[in-house]
Amino acid sequence: MRAFGAGPLRALGAGPIRALGAMSGTSLDGVDAAVVVTDGQTIEAFGAHEFRAYTEIEQAQLRRALGQWPSEALDSVQELVEMAHAHVLSRFDSVDLVGFHGQTLAHDPANRRTHQIGDGRVLAEVLQLPVVWDFRSNDVELGGQGAPLAPFFHHACARWAGLEQPVGFLNLGGVGNLTWVDPRLETPDEDGALLAFDTGPANAPINDLMQTRRGQAYDSEGALAAAGQVNMPVLERFLSHGYFHKIPPKSLDRDDFSDLPAEVSDLGDADAAATLTACAAASVAQGMVYCPSPPTRLFVTGGGRRNPTLMAMLRAGLDCPVEPVEALGLNGDMLEAQAFAYLAVRVLRGLPTSAPGTTGVRAPVGGGTLSNPSDAQQSFTGVAVDEK
């Protein structure tokens, strides 16, 4: 059995280690990177964090690649993703392990496939650190949705914060996802500890609208949506989509609601923004009916929490307090990156990273690939794997 971090890397024991996670989400704004000190179960501390924005040219290149599966035609996109990650991750020092999510281009769990572009072996060589990557494939191959994967980290955050009643974590990135957490249960893979699922489109349709019509990356402060009127027929048609009647766990691809732009094409800019914002909020309210019990508080993370119009719509449609995750002392811009730092340590330690309540996989499962510098990759499925 190979010792992790062998050679020039110090051996990683059983205690807390400094893990660096990176996340490039479906909003395509850039790469978040953040350090978490953890043993893969409890959070000991949070460390430094950085953000590397994608340029407009890079965003356009990534947007053209959305929906595509692995092929040589994507070599330049892969190089872009790896370069951007290497650029931001190389700013950190005193790191033991890296968790690299890659950039999701396509996600089709019904056919047991998912595509996060980016090769962790490249980053392992560049950074001279062990890198855990390809987090989702194992879950999907075993019948899970492969998403969302942050819920195990949300459970750790709730316990770190000393919460004692069920709460919700709502990530509003390109797609919205909700985690219902019962922190009274000690581990995230226990029955009843977690329920998680994608709620529906969130920032992605709004951002696309702003880019197409205004040449802007997003609706700053929700100002355009606040100036418009919600088109109720469009909202009602949106809520009739079959996805909202599926029992969770369930997940979405960024383009699963690709008809939304056409639905608002005849609306003025402000009314279109207001309607798409209302769709994001209403999909969360629809999802709340599936929670085992009403959450006592809902903590919002991701870019959507900075949109006052979206937050006001959420508060109007929900029966619990809705707060930015900063109310817990957490960083809402970095929570996803921190999650993959945490999950990387769980992969390293042979702990599960998903469970029936989070992805619908039949049993708790770990997954991911560990690459050491100059080493062959090693795949993990919740048990140690002998090196060939």
What does the domain layout of the chain look like in residue ranges?
17-148+345-380, 163-328
Q: For residue 173, which of 148, 155, 153 has the smallest C-alpha distance? A: 148
Q: List 371's β-bridge partners, or say none.
A: 131
Whether residue 360 contacts residue 249, with contact meaning beta carbons closer than 8 Å, is answered with yes
Residues in the chain predicted with pLDDT less than 70, given as ranges, are 1-13, 254, 375-388
Give pLDDT, residue 12: 67
User: What are the CA-CA distances from residue 307 to residues 150, 203, 207, 217, 232 (Å)?
Assistant: 22, 10, 12, 13, 21
Q: Report which DSSP code applies to 242.
A: G
Q: Which helix (H) or strand (E) element contains residue 65?
A: helix 56-65
Residues 6+ apart with CB under 8 A from 255: 66, 67
Q: Is residue 241 classed as helix, strand or coil in its secondary structure?
A: coil
Rounded Cα gap, residues 280 and 171, in angstroms: 11
The b/e string for 2-40 (b: 16+ C-beta within 10 A; e otherwise) is eebbeeebeebeeebbbbbbbbbbbbbbbbbbbbbbbbb
Confirm whether 17-148+345-380 and 163-328 share one CATH topology.
Answer: yes
Q: How confident is the model at residue 254, as a pLDDT? A: 67
Determine whether 220 is exposed, middle or buried from the number of CB atoms within 10 Å of its CB (0-12, 13-18, 19+): exposed
What phi and psi, each to the nearest 5 degrees, are found at residue 382? Answer: 95, 0
pLDDT tens-place string over residues 337-385: 999 999 999 999 999 999 999 999 999 999 899 999 985 455 433 333 2
- Write out the CATH class of domain 17-148+345-380: alpha beta
Phi, psi of 274 (to 5 degrees): -65, -40
Note whether 348 and 40 are within 8 A (CB): yes
Model's pTM, two decimal places? 0.89
- Right CATH number for 163-328 from 3.40.190.10, 3.30.420.40, 3.40.640.10, 3.30.300.130? 3.30.420.40
The first and second tokens of residue 151, run together, are 């819920």
* 281-331 pLDDT per residue, tens: 999 999 999 999 999 999 999 899 999 999 999 999 999 999 999 999 999
pLDDT at residue number 7: 33
